Amino acid sequence: MLESKRHNRPMPKPPSVPAASKALSAPQKVLRKMGLDRDIDLALHLPLRYEDETRIVKLRDAREGDTVQIEGTVTACEVSFKPRRQLLVTLDDGSDTCVMRFFSFYPSHQKSMAVGNRIRARGEVRGGFMGMTMMHPSFKTTGGALPEALTPVYPTVAGLPQTYLRRAVLTGLAHADVTETLPAGVHSPDPRGLWDLRASLQFLHHPTPEVSMAELEDRTHPAWIRLKCEELLAQQLSQLTAKRERDRLRAPRLSVHPAGLSERLLAALPFALTGAQQRVTAEIAQDLARAVPMHRLLQGDVGAGKTVVAALAAMVAIDAGWQCALMAPTEILASQHFGKLVGWLEPLGIQVAWLTGSQKKKERQAMLQAVSSGEAALVVGTHALIQEQVQFKQLGLAVIDEQHRFGVAQRLALRGKMQEEGMEPHMLMMTATPIPRTLAMSYYADLDVSVLDELPPGRTPVVTKVVSDSRRDEVVERISAQLAQGRQVYWVCPLIEESEALDLTNATQTHADLSDALPGVMVGLLHSRMPVAEKKAVMDLFNSGVMGVLVSTTVIEVGVDVPNASLMVIEHAERFGLSQLHQLRGRVGRGAAASACVLLYGTPDGGRLSETARERLRAMVDTNDGFEIARRDLEIRGPGEFLGARQSGAPLLRFADLSTDGHLLEWARALAPEMLDRHALLARRHIARWLGGKSEYLKA
CA distance 515 to 21: 66
Report the CATH number that the domain containing residue 399 is assigned in CATH: 3.40.50.300
Give the end of a domain, one of 77, 112, 141.
141
Q: Is residue 315 located within the same domain as residue 354?
A: yes
Same domain, 24 and 59: no
Q: Which residue has the higher pLDDT, 554 or 164?
A: 164
Tens of pLDDT, residue by residue over 186-244, are 999 999 999 999 999 999 999 998 998 889 989 999 999 999 999 999 999 988 998 88
- Distance in angstroms (rounded) separating the CA atoms of residues 379 and 374: 10
In a domain, 631, yes or no: no
Same domain, yes or no: 493 and 474: yes
Q: Which amino acid is at 95?
A: S
Integer CA distances (angstroms), 672 to 186, 421, 445, 454, 683, in order: 12, 32, 11, 33, 8
What pLDDT is recorded for position 286? 95
pLDDT recorded at residue 339: 87
- Residues 42 and 131 placed together within one structural domain of the fold: no
Structural domain of 178? 2-46+152-218
Last residue of a domain, one of 89, 113, 141: 141
**pLDDT at 646 exceeding the cut of 50:** no
CATH number (domain holding residue 124): 2.40.50.140
Cβ pair 395, 378 in contact under 8 A: no
- Angle (nearest 5°) at CA 189 between 187 and 192: 95
| 325 falls within a domain | yes
- Specify the 3-state DSSP secondary structure of 332: helix
Alpha carbon distance, N-terminus to C-terminus of the chain: 60
E-strand spans in 419-522?
Answer: 426-431, 448-452, 462-468, 488-492
Asked if pLDDT for residue 697 goes beyond 90, the answer is: no
Same domain, 372 and 240: no
State the pLDDT at residue 435.
77
Band of pLDDT at residue 275, cut at 50, 70 and 90: very high
Is 318 within the bounds of a domain?
A: yes
Residue 641 lies in a domain: no
Both 230 and 212 in a single domain?
Answer: no
Cα dist from 410 to 151, 245, 328, 456, whole Å: 45, 20, 11, 32
Instruction: Indicate whether this model's pTM tops 0.85.
Output: no
Question: Of all helices (H) and strands (E), which one includes residue 226?
Answer: helix 222-246
Q: Is residue 634 assigned to a domain?
A: no
383, 556, 580 from 528: Cα distances, Å: 16, 10, 17
**DSSP element (H, E) containing 599:** strand 595-601
Same domain flag for 88 and 187: no
User: pLDDT by residue (tens digit) across 414-428?
Assistant: 777 776 777 889 999
Q: Please state, for a pLDDT cut of 90, what percent of the chain lies above it.
A: 48
Confidence of residue 648 (pLDDT cuts 50, 70, 90): very low
pLDDT at 523: 94
Q: Helix, strand or coil for residue 611?
A: helix
Residue 305 and residue 232 in one domain: no
Domain membership of residue 638 (yes or no) is: no
- What band does 313 get if pLDDT is binned at 50, 70 and 90? very high
Same domain, 316 and 266: yes
Model confidence over 74-91: pLDDT tens digits? 999 999 988 889 999 999
- DSSP classification of residue 496: S
Q: How far apart are CA 166 and CA 138, in angstroms?
A: 16
What Rg value do the Cα atoms of the chain yield, rounded? 31
pLDDT tens for residues 449-504? Answer: 898 888 777 677 899 999 998 899 999 999 999 999 999 999 998 865 555 445 45
Weakest-pLDDT range from 181-185, 199-203, 428-432: 428-432
Decide: helix, strand or coil at residue 152.
Answer: strand
pLDDT of residue 607: 64
Do 109 and 233 sit in the same domain of this protein?
Answer: no
Of 89, 120, 141, at which residue does a domain stop? Answer: 141
What residues form DSSP beta bridges with 299?
431, 451
Query: In 405-520, where does DSSP find H-type helix?
Result: 408-415, 437-442, 472-484, 507-517
pLDDT tens column, 506-528? 788 899 999 999 999 999 998 87
Residue 268 lies in a domain: yes
Report the mean per-residue pLDDT for the chain. Answer: 85
pLDDT digits (tens, 9 = 90+) for 35-71: 898 999 999 999 999 988 889 999 999 999 889 999 9
Number of structural domains (the chain) is: 5
Whether residues 170 and 267 fall in one domain? no
**274 within a domain of the structure (yes/no):** yes
* Same domain (yes/no): 26, 90: no
